[in-house]
Amino acid sequence: MIPNWLKQRVYLTPDKTALTYNGESWTFKQVEEKSMTLARKLRANGLHSGDRIALLGPSNDEMVFIIHACMLLGLEIVMLNSRLTKKEIEWQVEDSAASVVIVAEELENLLSDLTTSTLPFSKIHASDESMIVVEKTWNPDRTITIMYTSGTTGFPKGVRQTANNHTSSALSSVLNLGLEENDVWLCTMPLFHISGFSILVRSVLYGMEVKLYDKFNAENVYEDIQQGLVTRVSVVSVTLDKILREFEKHGTVAHGSFKTMLAGGGPVPIDYLERAQTCEIPVLQTYGMTETSSQTATLSSQDAIRKIGSAGKPLFFNQIKINDAKNPMENGEVYIRGPHVTPGYIGHVATQNPLIDGWLPTGDIGYFDEEGYLYIVDRRSDLIISGGENIYPAEIENVLAAHPLISEAGVCGKDDDEWGSVPIAFVVVTENVSEEELKAFCREWLASYKVPKEFYFVEELPRNASNKLLRRELKEWASLQ
């Protein structure tokens, strides 16, 4: 059995700061009191333990309290992405068979065409309270959250994440990163995403303060890190670059108390990692996915420079193998096994077993080096096969990211009569630069067949809510060129 996270934390450290948002702070005891009140109000609105609800709200203090209220009442929470279209949200609500959608007023417009009933935050606050009995322990197999995959490679799937999944992920992470009394995790990731939700889980399991932003702001993140107000933060490549630009603009380095910048969501360009070293920011690449409740592998701090570009080794309870690879340095699909791996899906893929002989095939391409360090090369579905040669878009993007006038780059394949497929690039630039200049730059680092055959200059790249590049949309753009 697993102890009720918030109840156990309040028993252990009731007066420790749990949450800071917009200059206001709450202890774990205060979070519990607010969340218990909301849980009783949810019960008064007809919700019972075991019900599946959908939740749509911003990443603010109220959302945190409602999330904890749902867990205290024993609800399964379908975390809806507020950045999706009305049609996408409607599809996920119907696919999940949620009984009701709990929604913040400012997002109700996204549900105007929905047949499922809604329960606005304001109605909850105005409700009476009904008595509830809160479980002190949870069944490890209890579904806590359901998150739909980002859809970077196709149709979203509703992923079940259990109490054991989340707990195992958090414990594996702390065994790798360590924990100190003064740790404060800055959360700029949306709470509906596994990166954001997992920080809330770590908070109650570790007894650690979370400083919450409703959205990413590079200047504010810079100030928090530079002034020593936070010790850890989670980023993806594009947000890392924006933070680094703030440090470079001010000519400063991170405060000595800052410990970890966890970088996930895909391979980080080596140029970014080298720039981070100059700013004295310890960037640790990490590898995980919705189906693994966040991290599976992370590069430890002592290896960050020696193994730059690696996602590290599997965390303590986790196992990774490269399918069909017999030797180090051989590329293959990454397979994962461990207590953090989802037991399955819901909705239209409810009958689909995510595992093969106990292993989760990820769709990612990677390899282990001679010392057992994992390197993620790319998504298998993004692989470009040109004249029989395998081309990984991330490798080209890595090179383009090192160009001083390119702030973002995305690469995909385009059909070609002669070669089958050729790489093309979409770039966001800070100053005018010609296509020939970019091709010449790439030829210094890449084999000729890997050099993009065409460059398209755009104002922004398509990204999902966690700022992950949507190469699927790039392919759609390419078809229109």
User: Is 150 a residue whose pLDDT tops 90?
Assistant: no
Instruction: Tell whether 130 and 40 lie within a shared domain.
Output: yes
Q: Which residue has the higher pLDDT, 132 or 237?
A: 132
Examine residue 350 and state whether it is found in any structural domain, yes or no: yes
* pLDDT single digits (tens) 358-367: 999 998 889 9
Give the pLDDT confidence score for residue 180 in this predicted structure. Answer: 94
Instruction: Tell whether 389 and 450 lie within a shared domain.
Output: yes
Instruction: Tell whether 257 and 345 lie within a shared domain.
Output: yes
Query: Side by side, which strands form the sheet with 209-212?
Result: 24-27, 17-21, 209-212, 184-187, 232-235, 260-263, 283-289, 294-298, 313-314
**Domain total for the chain?**
3
Q: Which residue has the higher pLDDT, 36 or 463?
A: 36
Q: Which amino acid is at 432?
A: N
User: Is 51 a residue whose pLDDT tops 80?
Assistant: yes
Instruction: Tell whether 324 and 395 lie within a shared domain.
Output: no
Read off the pLDDT of each residue in 142-147 and give the average, rounded to a whole number: 98
User: Is 374 a residue whose pLDDT tops 90?
Assistant: yes
Residue pair 470/426 in contact (Cβ under 8 Å)? The answer is: no
User: Is 381 a residue whose pLDDT tops 70?
Assistant: yes
Cα 162 to chain centroid, rounded: 17
Examine residue 52 and state whether it is found in any structural domain, yes or no: yes
Domain carrying residue 450: 383-480
- State the pLDDT confidence band at 434, using cuts at 50, 70 and 90: very high
Read off the pLDDT of each residue in 62-77 and give the average, rounded to a whole number: 98
Read off the pLDDT of each residue in 46-62 and give the average, rounded to a whole number: 98
Q: Which residues contact 343 (CB under 8 A, 6 or more apart)?
A: 141, 160, 162, 165
Examine residue 157 and state whether it is found in any structural domain, yes or no: no
Examine residue 151 and state whether it is found in any structural domain, yes or no: no
Residue pair 202/233 in contact (Cβ under 8 Å)? The answer is: no
Sign of the CA dihedral 12, 17, 21, 24? positive
Read off the pLDDT of each residue in 109-137 and give the average, rounded to a whole number: 96
Give the pLDDT confidence score for residue 153 in this predicted structure. Answer: 45
User: Is 222 a residue whose pLDDT tops 90?
Assistant: yes
CATH number at residue 215: 3.40.50.12780
- C-alpha distances in Å from residue 73, one per residue of 5, 66, 322, 344: 13, 10, 41, 23
Q: How do 76-79 and 143-148 pair as beta strands?
A: parallel
* pLDDT single digits (tens) 157-216: 999 999 999 999 999 999 999 999 999 999 999 999 999 999 999 999 999 999 999 999
Return d(Cα 29, Cα 9) in angstroms, integer: 9
Instruction: Tell whether 249 and 295 lie within a shared domain.
Output: yes
- The set of long-range contacts for 159-162, using a CB threshold of 8 Å and a minimum separation of 24, is 159/290, 159/291, 159/342, 159/345, 160/342, 160/343, 160/344, 160/345, 160/346, 161/194, 161/290, 161/293, 161/342, 162/342, 162/343
User: Is 152 a residue whose pLDDT tops 80?
Assistant: no
Return d(Cα 314, Cα 338) in angstroms, integer: 10
Calculate the average pLDDT of the chain.
Answer: 92
Q: Which amino acid is at 357?
A: D
Q: How do 17-21 and 24-27 pair as beta strands?
A: antiparallel
Read off the pLDDT of each residue in 443-453 and give the average, rounded to a whole number: 88
- DSSP, residue by residue, 46-61: T--TT-EEEEE--SSH
> In this structure, what token pair is assigned to residue 324?
């069909």
Residue pair 71/5 in contact (Cβ under 8 Å)? The answer is: yes
CA angle 335, 339, 343 (to 5 degrees): 80
User: Is 23 a residue whose pLDDT tops 60?
Assistant: yes
Burial class of residue 107 in the structure, from the number of CB atoms within 10 Å of its CB (0-12 exposed, 13-18 middle, 19+ buried): middle
Read off the pLDDT of each residue in 71-99 and give the average, rounded to a whole number: 93
Give the pLDDT confidence score for residue 173 in this predicted structure. Answer: 95
Instruction: Tell whether 257 and 349 lie within a shared domain.
Output: yes
Instruction: Tell whether 396 and 332 lie within a shared domain.
Output: no
Read off the pLDDT of each residue in 449-472 and give the average, rounded to a whole number: 87
Report the chain's terminal Cα–Cα distance, integer Å: 56
Q: Which of 329, 359, 380 is the last residue of a domain?
A: 380
User: Is 425 a residue whose pLDDT tops 60?
Assistant: yes
User: Is 421 a residue whose pLDDT tops 90?
Assistant: no
Return d(Cα 140, Cα 7) in angstroms, integer: 16
Please provide residue 138's backbone torsions phi and psi, each rounded to the nearest 5 degrees.
-120, 145
Instruction: Tell whether 98 and 171 lie within a shared domain.
Output: no
Tell me what percent of the residues of the chain surpass a pLDDT of 90. Answer: 75
Instruction: Tell whether 293 and 197 lie within a shared domain.
Output: yes
* pLDDT single digits (tens) 317-351: 999 999 999 999 999 999 999 999 999 999 999 99
Instruction: Tell whether 409 and 394 lie within a shared domain.
Output: yes
Read off the pLDDT of each residue in 287-302 and give the average, rounded to a whole number: 89
Examine residue 155 and state whether it is found in any structural domain, yes or no: no
Instruction: Tell whether 99 and 23 lie within a shared domain.
Output: yes
DSSP-based three-state secondary structure for 371: coil
CATH number at residue 403: 3.30.300.30
Lowest mean pLDDT among 82-91, 241-250, 300-309: 300-309
Residue pair 6/68 in contact (Cβ under 8 Å)? The answer is: yes
Q: Which of 331, 353, 380 is the last residue of a domain?
A: 380
CATH number at residue 56: 3.40.50.980
Examine residue 204 and state whether it is found in any structural domain, yes or no: yes
Examine residue 313 and state whether it is found in any structural domain, yes or no: yes
Q: Which of 138, 156, 185 is the last residue of a domain?
A: 138
Instruction: Tell whether 271 and 391 lie within a shared domain.
Output: no
Return d(Cα 292, Cα 338) in angstroms, integer: 9
> In this structure, what token pair is assigned to residue 43?
């019960």
Examine residue 153 and state whether it is found in any structural domain, yes or no: no
